Amino acid sequence: MNNKYLNQPIKIKEIPLEDRPREKLKQNGISSLSDLELVAILLGTGIKGFNALQISEQVLEILDKKNTIPDLEELLTIPGIGEVKAMMILAAMELFRRKWKPLPRRVQTAKDVFLAISHFANRKQEYFLLITLNGANEILNVHVVTKGILNKTIVHPREIFVLAIEDRANAIIVAHNHPSGNLNPGEDDINTTQVLIDSGKLLGIPLLDHIIFSEVQYYSFVENRLM
C-alpha cells in the first residue's frame, strides 16, 4: 500500500485505479491487500477532509493495541466512524472469531513466525512485536509492545515479560519491522536482544529468536548466529 494516499485528503475514487483497494482485490485476490486496505473496504467511504484509508489508519491504531475485539465506544471516538460503520467492523471481527479463527501456528523456523507477522511490515513506523509460545511451540498471541517514530523504538524487558507471564508463555520470540527496508540489525537491536536473553534466563521464559522483517523478507538472529 502506497502511504502517500494517507498524507493527502483525496477521495478513493481519485486514487489511480490500480491502487484502489477494491480493484486490487479483484485483480490480485483478498490476500494481496494490506490491513489498511481491508479496513478501508469495510468502511467504503470517508468523510470531508479524510479518505477511507486515513480513517482506516486510526481504526488500526485501536486494533493494534489489543488482542481482543474493541468496544463499540472505542471505535466511535474516531472521526468518520459512526454506529453503522463501527458495527460493521465489530460484526466482521466477531464472525471471524466464531467461524475461522485459526488453530495455533506451530513455530519450527523463523519463516513460520514471519508468515504470522508479515502483515505488520507495511506500517509507516517501527512496530516492536512479542510472539508468545506455549510448551508445544505454538503461537499463543502476537502483541504490539511499542510503536516507534523514525525507526527509534525503546523496549524495556518489563513490557515484554509482563505480557509473556499473562499469556503463561513457555518461551517468546520478538520481532520488529524496518520501514527503511534495510534488515541488517543495528547496535541497538543487538543490545536489546542481549538484555532480553538475560532477562528471559532469570524468569525462566527463554527468548528463542529476534526477527527483523520487511514485506517480503526477514532477518533471523538465530539463523545468522547472533544468538
Which domain CATH number covers 197? 3.40.140.10
Same domain, 132 and 36: no
What pLDDT, on the 0 to 100 scale, is given for residue 109?
Answer: 94
* Angle at 67 (CA atoms; ends 70, 134), nearest 5 degrees: 160
53-110 tens-digit pLDDT? 888 888 988 888 776 788 999 999 998 899 999 999 999 888 887 766 665 688 999 9
Same domain, 16 and 44: yes
Structural domain boundaries enclosing 67: 3-99
On whether residue 40 sits in a domain, the answer given is: yes
On whether residue 199 sits in a domain, the answer given is: yes
Same domain, 115 and 213: yes
Number of domains in the chain: 2
On whether residue 68 sits in a domain, the answer given is: yes
- Residues 163 and 104: their CA atoms lie apart, in Å, by 18
Domain end: 69, 99, 129, which one?
Answer: 99
On whether residue 226 sits in a domain, the answer given is: no
Domain end: 99, 129, 149, which one?
Answer: 99
CB 49 within 8 A of CB 69: no
On whether residue 20 sits in a domain, the answer given is: yes
What pLDDT, on the 0 to 100 scale, is given for residue 215?
Answer: 84
Mean of all residue pLDDT scores within the chain = 86
Same domain, 211 and 117: yes
Same domain, 129 and 209: yes
On whether residue 225 sits in a domain, the answer given is: no
6-32 tens-digit pLDDT? 665 566 677 777 778 888 888 888 888
What pLDDT, on the 0 to 100 scale, is given for residue 1?
Answer: 46
Chain-centre distance for alpha carbon 174: 12
On whether residue 30 sits in a domain, the answer given is: yes
Residues 6+ apart with CB under 8 A from 58: 78, 79, 81
Same domain, 12 and 81: yes
3-state SS class at 188: helix
CB atoms within 10 A of CB 138: 14
Same domain, 77 and 167: no
On whether residue 227 sits in a domain, the answer given is: no
